[in-house]
Amino acid sequence: MSSSDLPALAGAVALALGTLAPLLRLRLDLALVLQALGVALLGAAGAAVLFGAAPIGSGFHDGIEPALGIDRLSGFFLATIALTALAALLYARDYLPGHRGARPLAALGGLFVASLCLVVTARDASLFLAGWELMTLAPAAAILVRGHDAPVRNAVFVYLAVTHVGGAGVWIGVLALAHYGALSGAGTLAAHGSGPEALVLVAALIGFGTKAGLMPLHSWLPRAHPVAPSNFSALMSGVMVKVALYGLIRVLFEWAAPVPLWAGLALLAAGLLSALGGVLYALFQHDLKRLLAFSSIENVGIVALGLGASLVFAWAGDPTWATIAFAAALLHVVNHALVKACLFLAAGSFERAAGPLDLDRLGGLLRRMPWTGAAFLVGAMAIAGLPPLNGFASEWLTLQALVHLAFGPAFGLGIAGMIAAVGLAATAALALFCFVKAVGQVLLGAPRRPEVAAATEVRGGMRAAPLALAAGCVALGAVPGLLLPSLAASAPNHVSLAAAPIISVPGAGSFPAPWLLVGVLAVTAALWWARGSRRAAPVPAWACGQRIDPRLGWTSAGFTKPVRLVLELVLRPRREIEVTEEGGVLRSVAYRGEVPHLFDSALYRPARRRALQGAALARRIQSGSVRAYAAYLLVLLLVVLLAVRAGVIG
């Protein structure tokens, strides 16, 4: 052990103590401070390695002896986890007291953060898989602490079932890699032929893809994220899905590298489906947290587009663009972690202050909660990919990579790149649509419920945490170029990029993020000044002379109706109108409309039905009679002996 390991070790100890503290009946504050100290030290150690310090701890090995270590990629993910977790802990300081089950939630929060850190620092298969399972179970327990009525139990069951069925892929992939000795040495997998390679790649894509929420394996995500306590939602959407992407990156770029072309194209396709599908379903959500969960799927899709493009470029022998696409993906990881945590935490504050988060029943919260509202506004603009905020920087880089793919190392790849680029452009426009709607319905206009009109701003950490994250979005948006070389350096076989505030990539015009920020602010301020303060008497908005009633305000369904109608063939919206008449007099009109989640009805429900049918079949051989089981054993033994004799096994 060297002295450079000390901060990381101290951090791990502090995090462990902080996790145990709530169970020992110590003060809640103390536990959260210990957790924060621990994760801050771990994050600092990770950031030091990311920005060029020597790697800490051991390297990967194929045995089962536990080993820990931090290299550049781990360092990046540790730092991202730390940034998000610090904000979540700051938030939890004022959110948890008054929340049902505060102590268990504090302990589970510590456990969750520790498991996230464990996955990215594990250096052998056993610790990796242990951390992986803990990371899945801790939020499930937290959701059940928060509430356990039937819909929540169902959400937790779907979450555990889907992530475990998919998670089998992680076990198969990682254990197979360890078996072939590929964890410690890159390139050893290919020596075993294409069979094991295909097994590992498919298993990893399914396993990590499920946990990352890539479509069509995402079904658990929009169920589980909204029902978790807000500080957990922030960590789940902000970093847990990213840690799954970390696993995917390790497999595709390191352990199984160099991967065949189909893996890159599969990732591109899944990324495009997730990006477009995620944002499209986000658009039609009525619940703010569900909307945010679907938007996480979209952003994971954008990261997957960058990673897929990087794999394809690497296959085509273009290391420069492979590096740029990889760095773009990592930049989007940290951007989305900050933004989504900010939005989820702000959503939690809205829920605390104004009650249920039904979008059609909020409104006007920017006046009631100016600080939280401002943080939410900045976060929404960042996630909509607007310059000069951070979301634009990573989407710009990803889009550049896809456009260059369209220029084509080969005909098919060019078309694939163009499809992905056009899809990403449409995604960005739809994300703008989705988040302008969210901002409008939550923050602007007139309040549509008495509780909303009487909401008061939250205090302390609940106010500070989203604001700090929003400030992070602005800062990262101003100087993404300074971060880029370190991100690029964590890619295997990377080409080094220059550190400059102005991002420029070969062939493209430059993207001068800081000047864009200064320019937008300065010109807006100048025009604001020129606009003057002379204003006429306040007037109501124009509604053909009628009075505007807040209850008649536009709904989510109304605002998105054009998209719903245009994409009717794809989305299959449902709509029911019931008119009750009595003696020719209209008594009531009931309207119900929804955009059903087609993946559920067309994919998961039939799969579940088949699984239950299969289980019913299997039950037939379960007679309960001991003699029957003895007969099964005998038959099995005979079959095995015959197989050995025939040389099939053994």
Partner 1 sequence: MSGATAAAAAVQVLGGVALAPLLPGTIQAAKARMQGRRGPSPLQPYRDLRKLWGKSVADPQPTTFVYQVAPPLVAAATALALLLVPIAGVAPNWGLGDDALVLVGLLALARFAIAASSWDSGSGFALMGSSRDLTFAAFAEALLLAALVLAALPAGGTALGAMARAAGGSGPWSEPAHWCGAAAFALVLLVETGRQPIDNPDTHLELTMIHEGPLLEYAGRDLALLQWSAAARHWIVMVLAAGLFLPHWGGFGTQLAYLAAGLVVLCAGLALSETTQAKMRILRVPGLLMGGCLLAFVGLATGLLGASI
Cβ-based nearer residue to partner 1, 174 or 443 = 443
Smallest separation (angstroms) from partner 1 to the CB of 573? 14
Cβ-based nearer residue to partner 1, 114 or 369 = 369
Smallest separation (angstroms) from partner 1 to the CB of 563? 5
Smallest separation (angstroms) from partner 1 to the CB of 591? 18
Smallest separation (angstroms) from partner 1 to the CB of 466? 18
Cβ-based nearer residue to partner 1, 195 or 411 = 411
> How buried is 126 (Cβ within 10 angstroms: 0-12 exposed, 13-18 middle, 19+ buried)?
middle
Residues near 567 by beta carbon (within 8 Å), at least 6 away in sequence: 280
Cα–Cα distance for residue pair 62/248, rounded to 1 Å: 18
Cβ-based nearer residue to partner 1, 184 or 555 = 555
Cα–Cα distance for residue pair 62/557, rounded to 1 Å: 53
Cβ-based nearer residue to partner 1, 258 or 593 = 593
Cα–Cα distance for residue pair 379/390, rounded to 1 Å: 10
End-to-end C-alpha distance for the chain, whole angstroms: 44
| C-beta pairs of 493-501 under 8 Å, 24+ apart in sequence | 493/314, 493/319, 493/322, 494/319, 494/323, 494/326, 495/319, 495/320, 495/322, 495/323, 497/323, 497/324, 497/327
- Joined together, the tokens standing for residue 632 give 């099964």
Cβ-based nearer residue to partner 1, 567 or 603 = 567
Helix (H) or strand (E) holding 572: none
Cα–Cα distance for residue pair 437/429, rounded to 1 Å: 13
Cα–Cα distance for residue pair 64/123, rounded to 1 Å: 10
Cβ-based nearer residue to partner 1, 35 or 556 = 556
Smallest separation (angstroms) from partner 1 to the CB of 497? 16
Cβ-based nearer residue to partner 1, 131 or 417 = 417
Smallest separation (angstroms) from partner 1 to the CB of 279? 9
- DSSP letters, 13-66, are HHHHHHHHGGGGT--HHHHHHHHHHHHHHHHHHHHHHHTTPPPEE----SSSS-
Smallest separation (angstroms) from partner 1 to the CB of 130? 43
Smallest separation (angstroms) from partner 1 to the CB of 282? 13
Smallest separation (angstroms) from partner 1 to the CB of 448? 10
274-311 in b/e form (b: 16+ CB < 10 A) is bbbbbbbbbbbbbbbbbbbbbbbbbbbbbbbbbbbbbb
Smallest separation (angstroms) from partner 1 to the CB of 569? 11
Cβ-based nearer residue to partner 1, 310 or 560 = 560
Residue with tokens 């940290």: 334
Cβ-based nearer residue to partner 1, 131 or 445 = 445
Residues near 335 by beta carbon (within 8 Å), at least 6 away in sequence: 382, 390, 391, 393, 394, 473, 476
